[in-house]
A and B are shown apart, each in its own frame.
Chain A
Amino acid sequence: MFKNYLNKIEPKNLFLISVLILSIFGLIMVFSSSSVKGMEDYADSYYFLKKQGIFLCIGLIIFIIFSKVETNFLEKNHKLFYGIGIIMLLLVFVPILGKKAGNATRWIDLGLFSFQPIEISKYMLLIFIAKHLATKSKRIKEFRIGVISSTLPCIPYAVLLIMQPDYGNTVLLLTTIFAMIIISGARLSHLVSIFIVLSCSFYTLILMAPYRMQRLLSFMDPYADPQGSGHQIIQSYVALAKGGLFGVGLGNSSQKLFFLPAQHNDFIFSIIAEELGLLGSSILLCLFGFLIYSGFKILERSKDLFSRNLIAGIVIMTSLQIIINLSVTVGLMPPKGIPLPLISYGGSSLVFTLLAMGLILALDKRRK
């Protein structure tokens, strides 16, 4: 019955509403989770709210512009975009521009603001692969086309990401491309072979440095090292446990008082669950569910192959980000450094997620 009712809603509207509610909800939670940190670091509890608010405005404008844009230029210039994507990732390694944070160099510092190029580059790769799969759709069942030529373009991206290093986004990107190839209709046996190759290469990567394995598995038993690798997960558990059914109330989280690192970006969901309880976290899950549901509705009614592939890429990648982020927060996956789309603090992530969401609406118009 509920599904019938949901079916009656125009997917475009459901999608639009989900995006808007999620981004505004995100802004509120960024404020709630960052006010103490803002006060501590910048003597301004509104510091992060102000920044995120500005980015949300920019993001929403871009969202509207891109939802109306003529999408042919994407197809035409897909090779150019591919190149730009690589250049962006290379910029990280330019001495003055690249910004080191922790052990990783993932940021470009332009003085006025800094951003993570992967947030842009990943969409560039999606556009290229979408076009590639679309033009080669008739021969997709051939191993050379379906597997080799579709996966080879990903290698420079993957290598550059591993060099940063940013394993989270590497996994995200490759899994998305894999899913796009599945949807394009590649042979099952071919897909299995990609899967095996991917798994093997990941395994090798881990074997190259044994500590990675240990770190990778530490999420399964955080209590083994509660002060070290298990700290984030335990504190996240504490936040969720404190939240209970109805939460401690908006703004009342005590885990955000620096017990939980990255409380306003990667671990913002813990604060949401603490302050709003199971009720709030379920509502948030439903909102994401609507977003994904309507995204797939739009995907299923798409007519041309390019928009089908690109919508699939964007919807799947966004879904994967949601899944990875939430799984990390609740201890189902090892920490990855993937923000929660539309919710987490972070300008580049927010703006480009909104841009991609706008593109879905623009691509939807092409079916006429």
Chain B
Amino acid sequence: MSNFINQLKEDDKKFKRRSNIIKFGIYLFLVAIFLKISYLQIPENDALLTKYDAGKSSSLIVKGERGEIIDSSGEVLAVSVLRPSIFANPRAIKDRVYYSKILSDVLKIPKEEILNKLKSKKYFVYIKRHATHEQWEKISKMNLAYVGMQLEPKRTYPHGHLAGQVLGHTDTDQKGIEGLELKYNKFLRGSAKRIEIHKDAFGKVITKSIEEIDKPNKGHDVHLTIISKYQLILEDAIAAQVKKSDAVSGFGMIMNPNTGEIYAMVSYPFFNPNNYSRYGFEKKKNLPVLNMFEPGSVMKSFLVASALNEGVIDEGAIIDCEKGVRSIGGTTIKDLNPRGKSNITEILVYSSNICASKITELMSKEKYYNYLKSFGFGAKTNINVPSEIAGILDKPEKWSEIQRANIAFGQGISVSSIQLAQALSIIANGGTFIKPYLVKLIVNSEGKVVYKGERRKGNRVLRYETSKKMRKMLKTVLQRGAKRALIEGVNASGKTGTAQFPVKGGYDKHRNVVSIIGFLPSENPQLVAVITIDYPKGKNAYGGRWAAPVFKKAMGAIWLDENNIEKVTSSGDVPSFIGRARREALAIANINNMKIKIQGSGFVQRQNPGPGEEYNLHDEIKLFLDPGI
């Protein structure tokens, strides 16, 4: 028995010994592990980290949000909005065909295109940049693994083609490529900043300092002199006429002759910068600035103004128009409406080339050249539209007799609409050169004005009397020569013109470029318009036939609008602001001495208190605006 117990004790001892050996072995391993950990963790192991630490932070340039382009009435014309860019990890996706089918259905991209992207060996491809939120919502509901989204700013033009060629466009990365977007890129773009980032093994950015990215480094907002409402009116009028006459293009602009502000600048066919890649170079051209053309008879206005100012003729002068045929230096020039002795107004009404040639001969070549120069022809207007050119105006020494005559009636010289508008403004505003401008204000993200476009008067070109005589004369010219341009309720002055399209070695006999230049009201001009239709088809392809109606339609509508500001009735009722643009609403409130509060942008949709309700002094009228175009 004791033997057995002894045996058990012996066994137990043996067990304890063996268990201790194993325990000791295990502890030995743990100590070894601890030593290895200490060896790895205690010394600064820079060599290892520099060589193999791919997760080291690196720096990233983050661009600030791009500034907005805003019209004169507060309407936003260009804005950057965050849109989901949809990406995928092709390496991880197994069922590529299924993925490409689903993504193609939602994103409306050909299936093959997506499949090709998914077959790439990359860890990251964009399936579609700047998709819509609805599209991403649909995709996210499908729970596709390895398909993700990141918000990226996309340049958006809320009004589509409105002033498209003026605005230009940016590329996918928000860099200005055309138009004001290009010219003012350095103001609009946000300042770049460097941020420390961490990337994961797939190169995706994982940063800890998100707030840093959100810090404002937004670009400046650019406020234009353009008034969307007027832009729209002129666009509609030109587009309708180009379609009606089956013309190649139509372009024109409206500006204030007293301040130089450009209210509208139109090129048709339109360009919608939202889909800029679908347009060729030609359609992106801002025609009123970049299209140099022979102006034709509209130039006679400036000839007569120069001659009057110079005193070589007076308003009562009578000149013989030679019954429509005159030979100059071996070349015969002809009039469309042959006449005998005519006064200056008649010469303009019937647009006699012969009499124009006679008038220019009353001045020296240098004299008239200097007048053309001081009207601004043959020089850039520096309107800050990319790649502006000066146009063709030869030096007077080179003028032959026939070229001198040609220039007098608008051939052999090339001008732009903006040059014409600038020159006509001198006639309209009393005789001083005024610089047209498009950018009214540049405001930084803190609301500080960094640039202010101002009325910039230049030298006096015409005496005030000359300007006054010209306003009156051109009024008659329009009344007698271009009835289609006449607007009810306001006197307008102007001159139409028709020129042939120059081709190599001569003119295209069929292609007429027809124009009208004009301003209103004749007595106290507020608006100057220059409108050109290129190549209207059919008979009577003249300025009076095709350009004049556009003038009437557009200027008429705008004039009506300018003067349609209601004065509150003595009863103190609240006027109607409905349908008004921001600028008009402010004007109405100003006239009526009322306080208003504006919410949103665009045109007034609702107001509180409503129209006709009683207005209490100190009340604030709330206006709710919405871009309705």
Contacts and interface: CB of A to CB of B under 8 A. Distances in A.
Interface string B305-344: 0000000000000000000000000000000000000000
A242 B53 contact: yes
Interface stretch (A53-61, A66-74, A100-108, A327-335): A327-335
B145 A42 contact: yes
A40 B56 CA distance: 20
Contact of A237 (B14, B32, B48): B48
A243 B43 CA distance: 11
Contacts of B213: none
B26 to A, nearest CB: 5
A313 to B, nearest CB: 11
Contact of B18 (A183, A241, A332): A183
A242 B49 contact: yes
28 contacts: A41-B145, A42-B145, A182-B21, A183-B19, A234-B52, A235-B52, A237-B40, A238-B49, A241-B40, A241-B45, A244-B42, A245-B41, A252-B208, A254-B56, A257-B55, A257-B198, A257-B199, A259-B54, A278-B37, A278-B41, A281-B41, A289-B27, A289-B30, A292-B26, A300-B16, A316-B22, A327-B33, A331-B36
Contacts of A355: none
Contact of A330 (B23, B36, B44): B36
A171 interface: no
Given A185-B15, A323-B30, A327-B29, A179 B22 contact: yes
B589 to A, nearest CB: 51
A147 interface: no
Interface string B200-241: 111000101000000000000000000000000000000000
Contacts of A326: 30, 33
B390 to A, nearest CB: 59
B2 interface: no
Given A285-B30, A288-B30, A331-B36, A241 B55 contact: no
A355 B250 CA distance: 86
Nearest to B32: A332
A245 B22 contact: no
* Chain A: number of interface residues, binned into ranges: 35 or more
B38 interface: yes
Contacts of B40: 237, 240-241, 273, 330
A36 B45 contact: no
Determine which residue in B41, B42, B143 has the highest number of CB atoms from chain A within 10 A of its CB, and name it: B41
B118 to A, nearest CB: 17
A183 B33 contact: no
Interface in A5-30: none
Contacts of B54: 259
B451 interface: no
A12 B53 CA distance: 44
A236 to B, nearest CB: 9
Nearest to A257: B200
Nearest to B147: A43
B279 interface: no
B34 interface: yes
Contact of B41 (A234, A241, A331): A241
A240 B41 contact: yes
Given A240-B40, A308-B15, 6 more contacts: A241-B41, A244-B44, A289-B30, A292-B30, A316-B26, A331-B36
A241 B22 contact: no
* Chain B: number of interface residues, binned into ranges: 35 or more
A135 interface: no
A78 B30 CA distance: 33
Which 7 pairs, one residue from A and one from B, show the smallest C-beta to C-beta distance? Answer: A257-B200, A258-B201, A254-B55, A241-B45, A240-B40, A278-B41, A330-B36
B93 to A, nearest CB: 12
A259 to B, nearest CB: 5
A299 interface: yes
Contacts of B206: 36, 257
Nearest to B23: A296
A312 interface: yes
A339 interface: no
A3 B15 CA distance: 22
B347 to A, nearest CB: 79
B48 A257 contact: no
A262 B44 CA distance: 26
B561 interface: no
Determine which residue in A42, A254, A289 has the highest number of CB atoms from chain B within 10 A of its CB, and name it: A254
Contacts of A43: 143, 145
B23 A183 contact: no
Interface in A298-333: 299-300, 308, 312, 316, 319-320, 322-323, 326-327, 330-332
B394 interface: no
Interface of B: 11, 14-16, 18-19, 21-23, 26-27, 29-30, 32-34, 36-38, 40-42, 44-45, 48-49, 52-57, 143, 145, 198-202, 206, 208
Nearest to B200: A257
Given A42-B145, A238-B53, A323-B33, A183 B41 contact: no
B52 A244 contact: no
A42 B34 CA distance: 36
Given A292-B26, A330-B40, A312 B19 contact: yes
Nearest to A254: B55
B3 to A, nearest CB: 14
A259 B199 CA distance: 10
Contacts of A116: none
Given A183-B22, A238-B49, A36 B29 contact: no
Contacts of B198: 254, 257
B29 A277 contact: no
A226 B145 contact: no
A255 interface: yes
Contacts of B44: 244
B91 to A, nearest CB: 12
Contacts of B34: 282, 285
A71 to B, nearest CB: 20
Contacts of A308: 15
Contacts of A238: 48-49, 52-53, 55
A300 B20 CA distance: 9
A278 B43 CA distance: 11
Given A237-B40, A240-B40, A242-B49, A185 B33 contact: no
A278 B53 CA distance: 19
A257 B37 CA distance: 22
Contacts of B53: 238, 242
A115 B145 CA distance: 23
A223 to B, nearest CB: 9
A237 B23 CA distance: 28
B11 A185 contact: yes
A250 to B, nearest CB: 13
Contacts of B26: 292, 316, 319-320, 323
A181 B374 CA distance: 113
B144 to A, nearest CB: 10
Contacts of A289: 27, 30
Contacts of B19: 183, 296, 299-300, 312
B201 A257 contact: yes
Contact of B48 (A241, A258, A288, A299): A241
Contacts of B32: 327, 332
A172 B559 CA distance: 94
A143 to B, nearest CB: 18
Determine which residue in B29, B45, B202 has the highest number of CB atoms from chain A within 10 A of its CB, and name it: B29
B20 to A, nearest CB: 8
Determine which residue in A182, A257, A273 has the highest number of CB atoms from chain B within 10 A of its CB, and name it: A257
Contacts of A255: 55
Nearest to B40: A240
Determine which residue in B22, B45, B57 has the highest number of CB atoms from chain A within 10 A of its CB, and name it: B22
A350 to B, nearest CB: 22
Determine which residue in B15, B40, B53, B57 has the highest number of CB atoms from chain A within 10 A of its CB, and name it: B40
B299 to A, nearest CB: 68
